[in-house]
Amino acid sequence: MKINLRKLIPYEEFDYQTLTTALSDYAHPRDKIARLIRNGTIIRVKKGIYIFSEAYRRQPYSKEILANLIYGPSYLSLEFALQYYDMIPERVEILTSVTPGRSRKFFTPAGTFFYQSIALEAYRIGYDQQKIDGQRFFLIAIPEKALADKLFLDRVPIRSEKSLQHYLFEDLRVDHTLIGDLDFGIIDEFALRYRSQKLSFLSKFIKRLK
């Protein structure tokens, strides 16, 4: 029996449930999945998460969607999100996310995915949906949250506005022109939820720039 897997699975990234549904006519779908991996039709990114191999792709797979799928609940943040918003100049290869669960790192055929743990109260706010290919979405921190997560999780002592500026503009190399566009009121909320003096410094600094 032959199936047109590409017709049944329109996207490049998919999970085990999607795959077994596409293979529901098979008596032993798990054996068929093993053969699809062995013959190079699909690639196992992580247990239960797959992508089509290059020969069968219609378009590049989305690492952002994979980041949301591989470990959750989570959304992209930290360095990757800062790069996504052009706030830092460096190209970030590791997909960085935050999660209310345990911190984890996954080395996969699709890249490295790093998840850092934050408190649930802080996790619940400050993220948005970004549309991809006109139909699907991935979750990513808003600019203020990406910077707040980075500042909070980095073990850098910030005890004055001077040390904050050094961290932002020398260590992170944040674009000076974009800092003033951030919403200090939102960062105030993050400071309360994180109970972070560092974020209070950041909010006051941005307010002074307005």
Last residue of a domain, one of 56, 74, 92: 56
- Which pLDDT band, with edges at 50, 70 and 90, does 27 fall under? confident
Residues 107, 123 within the same domain: yes
Residues 39, 81 within the same domain: no
SS3 36: helix
SS (HEC) of 195-208: CCHHHHHHHHHHHH
The Cα–Cα gap between 14 and 72 comes to 15
Burial environment of residue 47 by CB neighbours within 10 A (0 to 12, 13 to 18, 19 or more):
exposed
Q: Which DSSP symbol is given to 92?
A: P
Residues 137, 37 within the same domain: no
Question: Taking a C-beta distance cutoff of 8 angstroms, is the pair 30, 6 a contact?
Answer: no
Residues 47, 84 within the same domain: no
- Which pLDDT band, with edges at 50, 70 and 90, does 1 fall under? very low
Structural domain containing residue 189: 63-209
Residues 157, 97 within the same domain: yes
Residues 201, 119 within the same domain: yes
Residues 79, 9 within the same domain: no
Pairing mode of beta strands 104-108, 111-117 = antiparallel
Residues 107, 205 within the same domain: yes
Number of structural domains in the chain? 2
Token code pair at residue 95: 């997909």
Q: Which tens digit of pLDDT belongs to each residue from 172-181?
A: 999 999 999 9
Residues 17, 86 within the same domain: no
pTM over 0.75: yes
Residues 139, 162 within the same domain: yes
Q: At what angle do helices 143-153 and 197-209 cross, to 10 degrees?
A: 140
Q: Which of 16-30, 64-78, 91-105 has the lowest mean pLDDT?
A: 16-30
Residues 16, 90 within the same domain: no
Q: Which tens digit of pLDDT belongs to each residue from 132-188?
A: 987 899 999 999 999 999 999 998 999 888 999 999 999 999 999 999 999 999 999
Residues 198, 120 within the same domain: yes
In the chain, beta strands by DSSP E? 13-15, 42-46, 49-52, 75-76, 95-99, 104-108, 111-117, 127-132, 136-141
